[in-house]
Structure 1
């Protein structure tokens, strides 16, 4: 063992010896020295399954063993309850030798265990942001006692918190915890997928990002084996039922993907990621039909997504850890770092929308020493017909897949957004602080939440407008003493069961068969009684919908219809769309493509050349103009609003915006107006009928929502740049 090992407490050394470690990994050596020899905040960045958790906790536990205290001394924050349960077992093994208590706090932990922590706090506490929120709401009087000697906050999967609703919520809670418990703990962030460390450093320490030291281990890079198979979905193929086994025609589209998956993922443990719950259900159904048709002794394909019951998800996780040959068809629910054992390969049906997501999913395989990461990526574009748009003729899924893989090869990752106001989450935190304190002056609220808190982008004037809006909506009221308190409407919101989460929640109905939970569906996605649905990879008939109890009773069926789920559509960063254009321009081949993919790429390049899209980014036809800015999704939205401001009819897809029945001269004039700055942000935002995107936006004054929409959804400078781009040739 190294000199770093000698720095550890003897009981932690004993734990390492008893786990039969041969040596410490490089990141663990660096982290031990950085934690024990400095007071820096830290980011530990390395590949998945490289020992980041131990790198953080070996020195932390050594310090706790040497200086125990009668409060929680290390707080571990995770985005997932399942990840907390997984890490709890790992930390228990390390802590047992030093007799350091380890606690969990989330929705599935018993009230008895939570009460035990409140009475005798100590050691390490593992928690989600929502459960930390619940402590402020329900157990404020215990906060100082629980966290009086807090020395460390460890944030796992740090990238998943960077400047989104859960992230700003967590930042606010941690700032409030510092104030409530009078502590200033060191912060450690763990991640495998951060490209630009500056936003992550600002997340951990907004006042002094340079005080956050980055420890990066590049020695754990895995060999990557990639194969891309391209498929096209025939018109109406998604509505077809099981294939006639006597048919001589080869399966196409998703059916062909299912047959390939059945052949290649039948043995060992694997994960198949889809970009939507709808696609997971369709794929699982086709695999079930195939298994029954071929009379397999068992179905090795499981399902795992957010609309399934907790019981079914946990069953799938146990199966994956059992060592049996099973493959889970999943969404991002299994993207995080839950230890699922030896996952051999990753399948991806449809390219991800970001390189970050692709890297995260890749990290689920090859976790054992010496094993490669294996990815089989399936693209599913629409078959070209006489009605196909120019974008469809470019086979955008295939081109996006190539672009993502090339950017991954170059180690590029999307930077997190850093321009959001988060007014909705600020409303949530105003209500939370008022519930916690019973009442507060406006100046105190601004100090806790904005000046010393997470909402530093919201200035004092905007904050006052926000409070006035909440008063107009009767969520808060002001006493004669000047104190602001919760009004009855605000009280009801805070007392609701789902208040702890700052992100939006849907009205969901519980789907049951014989009283056993199968999953949940949002109210808008439930078929009528007597109709059919796909859920948990099986076909069901809806027997009874009880709107009072929000329960749906179903029974097994042979009929089915397309499942309806919200989500599944993502936004593309400008770097990705620009790389897609480069893929179409280049003449080079890609060794990871199969024959069909190579042929479709050649066809797409021919279409690109015939349309002269390298020299001209707009194509004129009898139906109007199709413009390819290649500047990402936000620019396309901005251009759509510019067209609306000029009274033009348009529709857009992931790559282009189409102007219907528009003369060339009119398009040229419209484009020149965009380039010259004729359209203002104030003008464009007035054209958006519904500015509400986050959970509490309905309580945010419209003027603030418009400011947020301009900053967070539009890219007027990018649109002007795209419009001013010179034509080649």
Structure 2
């Protein structure tokens, strides 16, 4: 690895010689990939960075090889590198690789998360590893634990690698991660180099600025993404991306069972319930089937993933739990039921295939209804245009600010009521804007105040003190599900509604792709005991209703499809026929020059077909209160209006609305999905959720467009 590159010295020569020896001789690599080469200089210089590459693009090595070289060259001691992942399973998967790489230099790596036994944790505290793999929640648990001397343990930290950083940045776990990193830097007493690893995103520079936190603009930073110098998204060969319309989940199971026999297939579904139903159907058809989703026990998922890795002619059916970089072996094919919520998710899933030399990346979409077909076609159309969603941090994370203030009081025992802001270095949500949150915490007894010092109060003890405040370090509240056990074996968890609904005959559950009959329910300990039976089980889980809402861009792409645009992928004759029918049925609901308001037909509803997405439509319904039907639930495609609306009224209200957009109203019951909302004044909790339900830009864009009024007669059947 000493050749020159375009007349320049080989960047690999900057790595530690012992590391290069093993890259060549132990891994057998003739040279590094472009991303791995380009990451060497900025990471050795101590710059913050985001490394972008598709799934299986070598991002872990791109980060670790330079950091391990710095570790040796600068004689770092103690735990000097933290490697943070969003999933424990991903950490488990990465540990053997990092143990191997560190061992080449006589260094060590270790794993710390909620499943690690107490004895192993004590050893880690006693014999600090050079690289610690962990989650943000476990990192914070170490900061607040009475059993960890956090100042001593973290004193050597020099760098942190955040794997799947895009998965963090798009939700509240990202704000939690940034806040914990700011506190960690203050404990360490120096800036910590931040390196994010990400799949393709639409705004890599903004993602890097976000990752830098309070250091943005003060520390050098670089996006490393060699593939972005070429075409961002390279279309696979014709035929490798296929869209089919099968009409039902039962038909999807028939197609999966019949096609690609002898291959290893990964099927993605968009809900746990769908995973369970499809898994059961495939098993009844004699297909070797494994399941993976968040409500299955850790052991159940591990057994499925291990068996799938070793098998050949089989299927694993999963939610997004297998979307990230967990290795499930050499896949032949990815199959998608309907469509994922984002182009970025599709890219992650597509990247699970094509890793074997001579194979290509592929994905078969099976639409089970017309809505799924339209969603898939819209997503593929956006993808073919080279568009990927920008990763945007959720607005106004006041509930995370409340959690962080409580966690800081737990960590430091006593915090000055004028000094707490310094712990986050001026990071927006945790600076002066959190003052009303602090006042509320004090007023409600979550925090006590004595002689200018804040400390944990009785209300925080009551609400979050269970098991040494473990609940305080978790950003999300787990749904109040019941644990399902067969004997002593934990199968997973289920929605309590399945245990309380009126049923005729025995109560049966569907979990892990099998039916179970309930034999005993331990209500006080939230446990349910079952035994296996043949068929008849039901699956159900709760969730926030807007989680699957389509974005403005996806909804507009759906309109483009209805107007005749077709993604450049293979469509079966069934898909072509179903799309043609959908276009005929929707001909009066779409217009290339603007939006459409329809009146009449089979019902008396007046609908404004914005094709602006759920959040924009919810914003429009809240803004146009004089025109919108107050009893409606907005959809991705339309807003329901008053029956007696006139074009003149519309013109006036639309003009006024464009000047004064309103946030959607929030049902107070929805606040239960916002953890720590109880630690906020209700008005602030509702304002936080309302800001996240809104799409002001999409709503404004819809209001600016021309509107066509269409009136049907009853015979039109509209």
Same fold per superposition (TM over 0.5): yes
Report matched runs for 1:310-459 at 5 Å: 310-381=298-369, 395-418=370-393, 420-449=395-424, 452=425, 454=427, 456-457=428-429
Asked if the contact 2:476–2:675 (Cα under 8 Å) also holds between the matched residues in 1, the reply is yes
Over 3 Å counting, the alpha-carbon distance change for 1:576 and 1:682 in structure 2 is: closer
Distance in 1 between residues matched to 2:541 and 2:669, nearest whole Å: 23
Q: CA deviation at 1:471?
A: 2.5
Distance in 2 between residues matched to 1:186 and 1:678, nearest whole Å: 44
The equivalent residue for 1:500 is 473
Distance in 1 between residues matched to 2:89 and 2:565, nearest whole Å: 46
Over 3 Å counting, the alpha-carbon distance change for 1:602 and 1:590 in structure 2 is: farther
Distance in 1 between residues matched to 2:61 and 2:457, nearest whole Å: 47
Residue 23 (str. 1) matches residue 31 (str. 2): yes
Report matched runs for 1:690-709 at 5 Å: 690-691=670-671, 693-709=673-689
Over 3 Å counting, the alpha-carbon distance change for 1:520 and 1:668 in structure 2 is: farther
Query: How many residues are aligned here?
Result: 681
Distance in 2 between residues matched to 1:300 and 1:95, nearest whole Å: 38
Query: Alignment partner for residue 521 of structure 1, among 489, 494, 506?
Result: 494
Q: CA deviation at 1:404?
A: 0.9
Per-residue CA deviation, residues 325-365 of structure 1 (Å, 9 max, x unaligned), is 33210001111101222111111111111111111111111
Query: What is the root-mean-square deviation in Å for CA atoms of aligned residues?
Result: 2.5
Over 3 Å counting, the alpha-carbon distance change for 1:89 and 1:453 in structure 2 is: farther
Q: CA deviation at 1:563?
A: 1.8
Q: CA deviation at 1:720?
A: 4.3
Per-residue CA deviation, residues 183-211 of structure 1 (Å, 9 max, x unaligned), is 31211111113221133112221345463
Q: CA deviation at 1:718?
A: 3.7
**Structure 1, unaligned runs of 5 or more:** 233-252, 292-298, 382-394
Distance in 2 between residues matched to 1:560 and 1:668, nearest whole Å: 56
Q: CA deviation at 1:312?
A: 0.8
Q: CA deviation at 1:673?
A: 1.5
Query: Alignment partner for residue 455 of structure 2, among 485, 498, 504?
Result: 485
The equivalent residue for 1:597 is 575
Per-residue CA deviation, residues 568-623 of structure 1 (Å, 9 max, x unaligned), is 85122211111111111126575411111100111112123245644651211142
Query: Alignment partner for residue 88 of structure 1, among 83, 87, 95?
Result: 95
Q: CA deviation at 1:163?
A: 4.1
Over 3 Å counting, the alpha-carbon distance change for 1:147 and 1:370 in structure 2 is: farther
**Structure 2, unaligned runs of 5 or more:** 3-9, 710-718
Report matched runs for 1:262-281 at 5 Å: 262-281=257-276
Query: Alignment partner for residue 512 of structure 2, among 532, 536, 541?
Result: 536
Over 3 Å counting, the alpha-carbon distance change for 1:267 and 1:686 in structure 2 is: closer
The equivalent residue for 1:626 is 607
Residue 649 (str. 1) matches residue 658 (str. 2): no
The equivalent residue for 1:571 is 549
Over 3 Å counting, the alpha-carbon distance change for 1:365 and 1:668 in structure 2 is: farther
Over 3 Å counting, the alpha-carbon distance change for 1:91 and 1:684 in structure 2 is: closer
The equivalent residue for 1:216 is 225
Residue 230 (str. 1) matches residue 211 (str. 2): no
Q: CA deviation at 1:501?
A: 1.0
Q: CA deviation at 1:52?
A: 0.9
Query: Alignment partner for residue 141 of structure 2, among 127, 134, 142?
Result: 134
- Taking structure 1 as the reference length, what is the TM-score of the superposition? 0.88
SS in 1 for 2:581: helix
Residue 638 (str. 1) matches residue 645 (str. 2): no
The equivalent residue for 1:239 is none
Q: CA deviation at 1:657?
A: 2.5
Over 3 Å counting, the alpha-carbon distance change for 1:358 and 1:70 in structure 2 is: same
SS in 2 for 1:272: strand
SS in 1 for 2:22: helix
- Taking structure 2 as the reference length, what is the TM-score of the superposition? 0.89
SS in 2 for 1:498: helix
Query: Alignment partner for residue 725 of structure 1, among 689, 692, 705?
Result: 705
Residue 669 (str. 1) matches residue 657 (str. 2): no
SS in 1 for 2:448: strand
Asked if the contact 1:649–1:659 (Cα under 8 Å) also holds between the matched residues in 2, the reply is no
Distance in 2 between residues matched to 1:453 and 1:131, nearest whole Å: 24
* Bigger mean CA offset, 154-163 vs 318-327: 318-327
* Bigger mean CA offset, 685-694 vs 576-585: 685-694
Asked if the contact 2:264–2:312 (Cα under 8 Å) also holds between the matched residues in 1, the reply is yes
Distance in 1 between residues matched to 2:626 and 2:79, nearest whole Å: 57
Per-residue CA deviation, residues 664-700 of structure 1 (Å, 9 max, x unaligned), is 42x7625642431389567854787755541011221
Distance in 2 between residues matched to 1:189 and 1:364, nearest whole Å: 20
Query: Alignment partner for residue 81 of structure 2, among 74, 79, 85?
Result: 74
Distance in 1 between residues matched to 2:290 and 2:314, nearest whole Å: 7
Report matched runs for 1:276-291 at 5 Å: 276-291=271-286
Over 3 Å counting, the alpha-carbon distance change for 1:687 and 1:540 in structure 2 is: closer
SS in 2 for 1:722: helix
Distance in 1 between residues matched to 2:272 and 2:648, nearest whole Å: 42
Asked if the contact 2:235–2:384 (Cα under 8 Å) also holds between the matched residues in 1, the reply is no
Q: CA deviation at 1:559?
A: 4.4
Report matched runs for 1:183-198 at 5 Å: 183-198=190-205
Distance in 1 between residues matched to 2:55 and 2:660, nearest whole Å: 45
Asked if the contact 2:555–2:613 (Cα under 8 Å) also holds between the matched residues in 1, the reply is yes
Asked if the contact 2:214–2:426 (Cα under 8 Å) also holds between the matched residues in 1, the reply is no
Distance in 2 between residues matched to 1:367 and 1:71, nearest whole Å: 36
Q: CA deviation at 1:268?
A: 2.8
Q: CA deviation at 1:161?
A: 0.9
* Bigger mean CA offset, 524-533 vs 187-196: 524-533
Distance in 1 between residues matched to 2:256 and 2:623, nearest whole Å: 44
Per-residue CA deviation, residues 604-654 of structure 1 (Å, 9 max, x unaligned), is 121232456446512111422122112222111123334656664324333
Residue 475 (str. 1) matches residue 446 (str. 2): yes
Distance in 2 between residues matched to 1:417 and 1:318, nearest whole Å: 35
